[in-house]
Amino acid sequence: MKEEDILGLSRHFEIGGHTLRHLSLKELSHYAAWEEIQGSYEWLRSLLGKSPMSFCPPFGEYTARHLSLIYETGFKVVRSTELLSTRPSSGAIPTTLQVYDHSRFTYFKHLLKRGRLQNLGLWCGSGFSSDVFRLLDHYLEHLMAHGGCLHLWGHSWEIDHYRQWKRLEKIFSVISHLSDFSYVENGQLSKTNSPVI
């Protein structure tokens, strides 16, 4: 993506860091990980004319040491790729739903791998659904009753490759006019008490 395109998007959306070369932080030395995080922060600050607020480690791979580096660099929010969650955990804010389809097995495997038994119980309430619209309804109902955050995410290349743009538009039509929710960018998450999307 060209820098002028990123700058154009930044007029309407928050632009966050993701390293300079999309490398797994876990596979880098301490110094190389710092260079990727710091370089991403400085490049975005220079391009956007303001400090970026959020960061998502490539592949969702990071350690506590990486979280410290990310926050020390100046990022205020770290997003993980942990799915089916509505609450922050381990210094990074997890996600709820991905536009890309996952099987029940994939959801189950990831919840067990991360030891997220509370999230497994919450997912159970959906009937262990893998349908994104059933899950969307389930998590919206949960958020209305208990608060938290619905975070929908997807890689644009996946959405494009699997022709999921219409699905994304349909999801947006479901969530775009919910009066009891606040709609915030990642950098604003610490500033609201109502359920957020």
Q: List the domains of the chain with CATH numbers.
A: 1-78 (3.20.20.370), 80-197 (no CATH)
Mean of pLDDT values over 38-64: 96
In degrees and rounded to multiples of 5, residue 54 shows phi and psi of: -125, 160
Question: Above 60 in pLDDT, residue 193?
Answer: no
Residue 164 amino acid letter:
Q
Instruction: Indicate the average pLDDT of the chain.
Output: 92
Q: Residue 135: its pLDDT value, please? A: 97
The answer to whether the beta carbons of residues 91 and 125 sit under 8 Å apart is: no
Looking at residue 87, its pLDDT comes to 84
- pLDDT score at 74: 96
Q: Quick one: what percent of the chain has pLDDT higher than 70?
A: 95
**pTM for this one?**
0.85
Looking at residue 190, its pLDDT comes to 58
Rounded to an integer, the average pLDDT of 133-159 is 93
* Among 86, 77, 85, 97, CA closest to 17: 77
- Residue 71's pLDDT is 95
